[in-house]
């Protein structure tokens, strides 16, 4: 249920709730939009006969909120409806909550079981936790390589992953707030970087372009979708309303500057889609949280002269999935 809210509620956490009475689900809900009802309230609204709630269990992926935000505290609603049992995955790391709701429920005689499926709940909310604790968006490095470690060829367009992997990438695009590529990738591949093959929205596109080498009719500059261009030389007049410029030096402050800008814009997640140089900069600064790496098992010719080698991640993958003839490996930083 929580996952249904992914990509829709930043900078809020994604939260799902399920109400169970006598072994049956009688209500379920998720946080659908910023300012909208929280998951617990959505779930309660689905229950026809609310008189059974005192004999029901509320399962919720994150500790109910304690504070007045755009909506009143959920902990008070749980008490109002008489829940006697609450099961939750995670304590909310937000200082305004952080265990206070659990304490309040317990003081009112409610049995609370925190830490249920904690790891799964934590991974669901990695964007929110990263933003709250590290004050920057969650960073996902995404790329494809061949089994021989080839990432691309200089001066050539080279597609590596299969159609199923590409569709999955579009789903990921629907789940994140921003997507970033380096100058050469924009010049070579002319990517659109939008979500065309999955439901939901597209992320804010970010192009690194120190000297404004990328020019129309490149898709990122010409298709009327928003693009943030990070450059040392912003133009004095904006050529189009869909283009924004973020001035920055192209040194070790570049990536931290971008992360700060995204944080200020309430963007909780960033996917970096290449190229190799750009990905390596994030790795070198240890500014990444997760890497999603496709390896294509399709036979490819190995041309050494202009080959670009894929970055190497020096931790073992945490998960491996087959996607037809591709393999997807997921790595987590530390």
Point out the residues that are catalytic: 40
- Within positions 50 to 109, which residues make up the interface with ligand NAP, using CB under 6 A? none
What is the C-alpha separation between 243 and 224, in angstroms, rounded? 8
Classify residue 279 as exposed, middle or buried by CB count within 10 Å of its CB (0-12, 13-18, 19+): buried
Q: Looking at 14, 58, 79, 208, which residue binds ligand NAP (CB under 6 A)?
A: 208
Select the span of 78-86, 260-268, 269-277, 314-322 touching ligand NAP (CB under 6 A). 269-277
Q: Does 183 bind ligand NAP (CB under 6 A)?
A: yes
Helix residue spans in the chain (DSSP H): 39-45, 74-80, 100-107, 118-124, 126-134, 163-175, 183-189, 219-222, 254-264, 276-284
Select the span of 108-116, 185-193, 257-265, 314-322 touching ligand NAP (CB under 6 A). 185-193
CB of 243 within 8 A of CB of 224? no
* Residue 286 neighbours by CB distance under 10 Å: 8
Site size toward ligand NAP (CB under 6 A) is 29
Q: Using the minimum distance from each CB to ligand NAP, give the nearer residue, 70 or 303.
A: 303
> Minimum distance between the CB of residue 221 and ligand NAP, rounded to whole angstroms?
16
Q: Does 270 bind ligand NAP (CB under 6 A)?
A: no
Q: Does 311 bind ligand NAP (CB under 6 A)?
A: no
Q: Looking at 116, 245, 250, 332, which residue binds ligand NAP (CB under 6 A)?
A: 250
Name the token pair of 229: 């261009």
What is the C-alpha separation between 62 and 101, in angstroms, rounded? 11
Q: Does 205 bind ligand NAP (CB under 6 A)?
A: no
- Within positions 140 to 159, which residues make up the interface with ligand NAP, using CB under 6 A? 143-144, 151-152, 157-158
∠139-195-4 over CA atoms, to 5°?
A: 70
The H or E element spanning position 125 is none
Name the residue whose CB lies closest to ligand NAP: 275
> Minimum distance between the CB of residue 300 and ligand NAP, rounded to whole angstroms?
11
Estimate the crossing angle of helix 276-284 against helix 254-264, to 10 degrees. 90
Q: Does 160 bind ligand NAP (CB under 6 A)?
A: yes
Rg (CA), the chain: 23
Binding site for ligand NAP (CB under 6 A): 143-144, 151-152, 157-158, 160, 181-185, 188-189, 208, 210-211, 213, 250, 254-255, 273-278, 281, 308
């Amino acid at each position: 249920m929580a996952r249904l809210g992914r990509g829709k509620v930043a900078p809020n956490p994604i939260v799902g709730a399920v109400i169970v009475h006598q072994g049956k689900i009688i209500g379920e809900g998720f946080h659908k939009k910023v300012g909208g009802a929280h998951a617990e309230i959505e779930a309660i609204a689905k229950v026809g006969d609310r008189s059974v709630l005192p004999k029901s269990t509320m399962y919720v992926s994150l500790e109910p909120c304690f504070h007045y935000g755009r909506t009143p505290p959920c902990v008070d609603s749980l008490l109002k409806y008489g829940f006697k049992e609450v099961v939750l995955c995670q304590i909310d790391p937000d200082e305004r909550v952080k265990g206070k709701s659990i304490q309040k429920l317990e003081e009112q005689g409610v049995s609370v079981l925190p830490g249920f499926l904690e790891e799964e709940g934590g991974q669901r909310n990695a964007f929110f936790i990263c933003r709250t604790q590290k004050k920057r968006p969650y960073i996902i490095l995404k790329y494809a390589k061949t089994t021989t470690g080839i990432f691309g060829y200089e001066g050539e367009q080279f597609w590596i992953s299969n159609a199923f992997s590409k569709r999955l990438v579009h789903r990921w695009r629907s789940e994140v707030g921003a997507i970033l590529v380096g100058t050469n990738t924009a010049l070579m591949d002319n990517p659109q970087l939008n979500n065309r093959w999955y439901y939901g929205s597209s992320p804010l596109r970010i192009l690194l372009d120190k000297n404004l080498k990328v020019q129309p009719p490149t898709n990122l500059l010409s298709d009327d979708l928003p693009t943030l261009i990070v450059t040392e030389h912003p133009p004095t007049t904006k050529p189009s309303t869909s283009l924004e410029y973020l001035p920055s030096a192209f040194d070790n402050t570049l990536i931290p500057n971008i992360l700060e800008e995204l944080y200020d814009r309430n963007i909780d997640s960033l996917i970096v889609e290449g190229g190799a140089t750009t990905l390596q900069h994030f790795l070198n600064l240890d500014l990444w949280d997760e890497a999603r790496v496709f390896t294509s098992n399709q036979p490819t010719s190995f041309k050494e002269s202009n080959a670009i080698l894929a970055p190497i991640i020096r931790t073992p993958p945490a998960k491996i999935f087959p996607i037809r003839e591709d393999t997807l490996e997921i790595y987590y930083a530390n």
